[in-house]
A and B are shown apart, each in its own frame.
Chain A
């Protein structure tokens, strides 16, 4: 598995595909698991983003939602298809969950 990389400036993570991939064929979608639960299950409008949150060189999946809260499913080390730990809260500097507090 190649880890996602981050750059210095501007710091948004991107990936490239080949020109032949403009209209790709996707496999039938499958639900991702985080631990023994479906990732994002019962969240209000879950919005996933790939990001290596803990800097271990493996992409994690950070999930936002309508109320504005962030969780992360950390990717577990190992070969084969990526596996993810159970979702945990993304914590802010003050120890509370990162929460954009919708309104």
Chain B
């Protein structure tokens, strides 16, 4: 979820627009009294705006639909980012929506008014260099920025990359608008931050899940980047004494036993639910998990304690989130401006 502060309903107060992991764009209205409760941004027919995957609040399960598919939609789309933008220069705000699953960006046109938006019902792909945008590493967030100072809004995207293991990480890109205010035409992306290859021995950069914004952070007149994301690193191994080497072997053996123990419980639960209908299997799994919860918790605590002792001796992979500043060193001074 990356918030955008924008006057969504043209009442003179800033609101907050954000796509969230439930698969739809949301709105927090600003008021004289403060921020109001969040609400979903719906289409002109009052239906949820989604790609394909979405959290179904009625069934309380993940669900999928092709109801809103536009041309070329992948079928696995998952909307998690949204920004409001006057796409066609008609004075009202349209929506640009990012796909966490595929890297595509889609548009919903506002067919209503600035005060009473009425969004179109299908996802229209946004193009760059004549092809549907495909953000390398899939979309984490979208932002608007006049990157080249030509008075036109450009589209920026931060990408997700592999946020959980050693695969290639995310980057930051800007798609320059080579068209007009009424008809944007986006060029091929310029890479602002390369995708991470990871592999550091300390946190050196945001490696995955890059959520960025632009601003003149240091007041020197150019655009800096602030980027949230996960760093992935593995500390350098230490030289072990003979006693430490022996202890490491013992800890690893104990860890294997603990892991085998919890895996056996989960396997037994799975076996007991085989052949049951989905609802019955869910119920059975819930009952059995509850019955063996104490054992599972005990194995979990044991594993954590062993890992805590092992980690300083044989450092394992680390992953932690931070917010980073990329200071722009390269451009001539020009005051920040606002449209």
Contacts and interface: CB of A to CB of B under 8 A. Distances in A.
B193 interface: yes
A40 B321 CA distance: 6
A31 B204 CA distance: 9
A46 B141 CA distance: 11
A19 B148 contact: yes
B324 A29 contact: yes
A2 B224 CA distance: 13
Give chain A's interface residue range (CB within 8 Å of chain B).
35 or more
Contact of B21 (A30, A91, A103): A103
Interface string A5-17: 1111111111111
Contacts of B6: 10-12
Nearest to B1: A64
Contacts of B324: 29-32
Nearest to A27: B327
A26 B193 contact: yes
B336 A16 contact: yes
* Secondary structure class of chain A's binding surface, majority of residues: loop
Interface string A26-50: 1111111000001111111111111
Contact of A45 (B14, B148, B209): B209
Contacts of B33: 93
Contacts of A68: 1, 18, 20, 38
A79 to B, nearest CB: 10
B207 to A, nearest CB: 11
A16 to B, nearest CB: 4
A8 B12 contact: yes
A12 B323 CA distance: 22
Interface in A52-83: 59, 61-66, 68, 70, 81-82
A47 B228 contact: yes
B34 to A, nearest CB: 3
Give chain B's interface residue range (CB within 8 Å of chain A).
35 or more
A93 B334 contact: no
Nearest to B57: A103
Given A26-B193, A48-B226, A102-B22, A14 B144 contact: yes
A17 B320 CA distance: 31
A64 B222 contact: no
A38 B206 CA distance: 13
Interface in B126-156: 140-141, 144-150, 153
Kindly name the residue among A12, A27, A38, A93 whose own CB sees the greatest number of chain B CB atoms within 10 A: A12
Interface string B212-241: 111111110111111111100000000000
Nearest to B28: A98
Given A18-B334, A39-B323, A50-B226, 18 more contacts: A2-B221, A9-B10, A10-B84, A14-B145, A14-B337, A16-B146, A18-B149, A26-B327, A29-B227, A29-B325, A38-B323, A45-B211, A46-B229, A47-B2, A47-B141, A48-B226, A64-B1, A100-B28
5 contacts: A10-B7, A12-B5, A29-B206, A40-B323, A92-B37
